Structure 1
Amino acid sequence: MLVIGLMSGTSYDAVDAAAAELRLDGDRLTLRPLGMVSASYDAGLRASLAAALPPAAVPLAEVCRLDTGIGRAFAAAAVRANREVCAERAELVASHGQTVFHWAEGGRVHGTLQLGQPAWIAEATGLPVVADFRARDVAAGGQGAPLVSLVDLLWLRGRPGRPVALNIGGIANVTAPDGTAFDTGPGCALLDAAVREFSGGRLAYDADGALAARGEVDGRLLHRLLGEPYYALPAPKTTGKEVFHAGYLRSAGLLDGARTEDVLATLTMLTARTIADAVRAVGATEVVASGGGMRNPVLAGTLRELLAEIPVRASDELGLPAAAKEAYAFAVLGFLTAHGLPATDPRSTGARHPSVLGSLTPGTAGFRWPAPAEYPPQRLVVETPERATANGTPVGSR
């Protein structure tokens, strides 16, 4: 089945559309990455989204406008991916949508909201769409995150030692081979918020970590930030921009006359330190990293320094492009849903049981469900271009 996975993370800068050919053969699920397109939100939509995120109070009219605007943006990305990567052969779209609120209180998640109405995607592409993945896990008592942990578990199974998957987006998360998975804390969320505050909204992020590289870590401030109670909570746990936003910076006194470069250097160390602490806590012998945070050389370099004895390699080395790994993961989740298979591991999310995720919006011709699979896959094999060519199957181009 040829599936397009759509993803926009907590940095809400762009919609990634990754196309994959997926095959289920016994206990093995094979993923052949075909390529991706990435489409930035237009400036107006991104500004509206930023203004609507917690702790802002938002009228329902604005929620409706955002749901429509984000849905159209996801639809446009899907159309491009189907045309440019799939030669109009895609069979299914799996859309994560845009998380705008994750209702976590007292160590439990009570609800979650992703915008990006899938009807716009189905109308634009003519394809069936699986969307709203997180809600079912939350309804089953889970955290609804990290939701791609099952993909990580299947993908890294069989590697020597204890390989740990790491994704650094707005929020960072890890998945260990025993199923332990959780958000470590802020990835780029506080860094991005600080840059926007200090630049008066002119800059959205610290490009290449250039500002942080010119700063000095404030040890006392770092110590105070590390006292955040979230870090001491046991797994499974999840957090988001409901906690780590500009108001968090203000309450911590980071915006009161401090030098921009020093604040960013300190926040970079905070992100790297909390990730490193989490990686050591789960006994990692290897880190396979992805997400936009890995494109920040200062953050990635600081993390590697803190984990000097533990190799940190980009997911590209194992066949999944770091920039599109989560979009590919949602293509897998959509494929599992289409085949009636659960796409969660209760060890990772804390749910009472595994769940078949998402809801279906039919395409122009409706949707013919594949024959239900007899049992879920036990491993995920990523077919690299070299392996695909060896098998006589040319890989699609971007």
Structure 2
Amino acid sequence: MRVIGLMSGTSYDAVDAAAADLWIEGDTLRLTPLGTVGQAYDEGLRAELAAALPPAPTTLEAVCRLDTGIGRAFAEVAARADRELCAGRADLVASHGQTIFHWAEGGRVHGTLQIGGPAWIAERTGLPVVSDFRSRDVAAGGQGAPLVALVDTMWLRDRPGRPVALNLGGIANITVAEGSCAYDTGPGNALIDAAVGHVTGGRRSFDTGGALAARGTVHRPLLDRLLAEPYYARPAPKTTGKELFHLPYLLGASAGLGPLPAEDLVATVTALTARTVADAVRACRGTEVVASGGGTRNPTLMGMLGAALPGVAVRTSDELGMPSAAKEAYAFAVLGFLSAHGLPGSVPACTGARHARVLGSLTPGAAPLRLPAPPPGPPPARLRLAPGPG
């Protein structure tokens, strides 16, 4: 099956698409990467989205408009991926959508909302669409994240030692490859991006090449205040988001400390990400970190993380053949494939759900809907990158 995975993370800057051929051989799911495309959100749409996200108030009208605008943006990227990567022969689209709220309270997740109507994708491409992956895990008592844990455990389980997959998106999350532990460690790029936007008056939205942080000095009193956040001490499984880690949160933590040089503020929140990720890797007894996501393009962050984990190999997923910038899009292509085949896409030990569940909702395309039969035997236990069959 040829599947297009669509993803826009908590940095809400662009829609990424990854296309793959996927098939099952025995206990192994084979994946042939066909390439990736991406497209930044229109500046007006991104501004509307930013204005509607917590802690800002919003309206149902704004949410409806965003659902439509984001759905159309996802649809255009899906159509482009089908045309440019699949020669118009894709079978399925798997769309994560855009998270706008993750309702975590009292150590539980009560609901989650991803927008970007799949009907727009199905109408534009003519392909069936699997979407709304997180809601079923939440309904089964899980955190709804990190859903990539299943893909990470399948992909890394045969590596030596105790490898840990790390995603450095707006929020950082880890998965121990043996499937015993996966959770959001805290902010990935969320506070870094918020700090950069603040100190540049909105002229920049991220720390290009980690340059600002590299010129700064970590402000220890602010770092200590940030590390006192109760979320870090909570047991896993747990999830968080920009509902907690946003600019007002950062400004509140820095209140009373006097003016900080811009570079020092960015260096401090970069150190926070490195420290909280490193603490999580040590707690899970990780021997190797395989990192992906936008944060891997920040050499200052990656350098701080390596320094905080002496004796632990820190590498990017690119070194293992999985493009770090599009790993989550590939992961949702895998989850879409599993859902279409009636196979579970969650790891209860990682999300806290009562049971593994088939994830997502299905929107038919232009043709009559025909789903493949579930394969005989147990679900595949391994994921291998491979050349195409034949």
TM-score normalised by L of structure 1: 0.96
Contact residue 250 and residue 256 of structure 1 kept, 8 A: no
In 1, Cα distance between equivalents of 2:11 and 2:375? 35
1:135 is aligned to: 135
How many pairs are equivalent? 387
Say yes or no: does 1:214 pair with 2:215. yes
Corresponding residue number in structure 1 for 2:6: 6
Q: Deviations over 1:204-240 (max 9, x none)?
A: 1111111111110011211111110000000000000
Once the two structures are TM-superposed, the CA of residue 118 in structure 1 deviates from its matched residue by 0.4
Q: Cα deviation per residue 1:155-180 (whole Å; 9 max; x = unaligned)?
A: 11111110110000000000012420
Aligned to 2:54: 54
Cα shift readout 1:37-83 (whole Å, capped 9, x = no counterpart): 01000100111111111011111000000000000000010011001
RMSD: 1.1
Equivalent pair of 2:10/2:169 in contact (CA under 8 Å): yes
Q: CA deviation at 1:392?
A: 7.7
Partner Cα distance (1:264, 1:330) in 2: 32
Q: State the distance in 2 between where 1:122 and 1:258 align.
A: 49
Query: Could you list the per-position Cα deviations for residues 122-177 of structure 1 after superposition, in whole angstroms to 9, with x for gaps in the alignment?
Result: 00000000000000000000000001100000111111110110000000000012
Structure-2 separation of matches of 1:37 and 1:282: 34
Counterparts of 2:10 and 2:389, CA distance in 1: 39
1:202 paired with 2:203, answer yes
Provide the rounded CA distance (Å) in 2 between the counterparts of 1:199 and 1:120: 36
Q: SS of 1:351's equivalent?
A: coil
The question of whether the paired residues in 2 share the 8 Å contact of 1:137 and 1:143 is answered with: yes
Q: CA deviation at 1:251?
A: 1.1
CA distance in 1, matches of 2:382, 2:312: 24
The amino acid of 2:380's aligned partner reads P
Secondary structure at the aligned position of 1:303 is classed as helix
Deviation, 1:305, is 1.2
Q: Is structure 2 residue 383 aligned with structure 1 residue 380?
A: yes
What is the rounded CA distance, in whole Å, between the counterparts of 2:66 and 2:252 in structure 1?
28
Aligned to 2:294: 292
1:243 corresponding residue in structure 2: 244
User: Equivalent residue of 2:325, what SS?
Assistant: coil
Runs of 4+ residues deviating >6 angstroms: none
Q: Which moved more, 1:247-256 or 1:367-376?
A: 247-256
Structure 2: unaligned runs, 5 residues or longer: none
Return the alpha-carbon distance in structure 1 between the equivalents of residues 275 and 385 of structure 2. Answer: 30
For residue 96 of structure 2, give the secondary structure of its aligned residue in structure 1: strand
Q: Which residue of 1 aligns with 2:183?
A: 182
Match of 1:232 in 2: 233
Separation in structure 2 between the aligned mates of residue 307 and residue 372 of structure 1, nearest angstrom:
42
What's the CA shift string for 1:328-383, capped at 9, x where partnerless?
00000000000000000100000000010000000000320101123211111112
Partner residue in 2 for 1:349: 351
Residue of structure 1 equivalent to 2:98: 98
Aligned to 1:38: 38
The residue that corresponds to 1:309 in the other structure is 311
In the alignment, structure 1 residue 24 sits paired with structure 2 residue 27? no
Q: Tell me, what secondary structure is at the counterpart of 1:323?
A: helix
Output the TM-score relative to the length of structure 2. Answer: 0.97
Q: 5+ unaligned residues in a row in structure 1: which ranges?
A: 394-398
Corresponding residue number in structure 1 for 2:278:
276
Q: Quick one: distance in 1 between partners of 2:227 and 2:274?
A: 11
CA contact (8 A) 2:143 2:238 kept: yes
In 1, distance between residues paired with 2:368 and 2:168?
37
Matched AA of 1:377: P
Match of 1:396 in 2: none
For 1:261, the equivalent position in structure 2 comes to 263
Name the SS of the counterpart of 1:54 in structure 2: coil
Asked whether the equivalents of residues 11 and 170 of structure 1 are also in contact (C-alpha less than 8 Å), the reply is yes
Contact (CA 8 Å) 2:4, 2:82: kept in 1 or not? yes
Q: Indicate if the aligned counterparts of 2:179 and 2:347 stay in contact, CA closer than 8 A.
A: no
Query: CA offsets, 1:243-285, max 9 Å, x none?
Result: 0001101211269622110000010100000000000110101
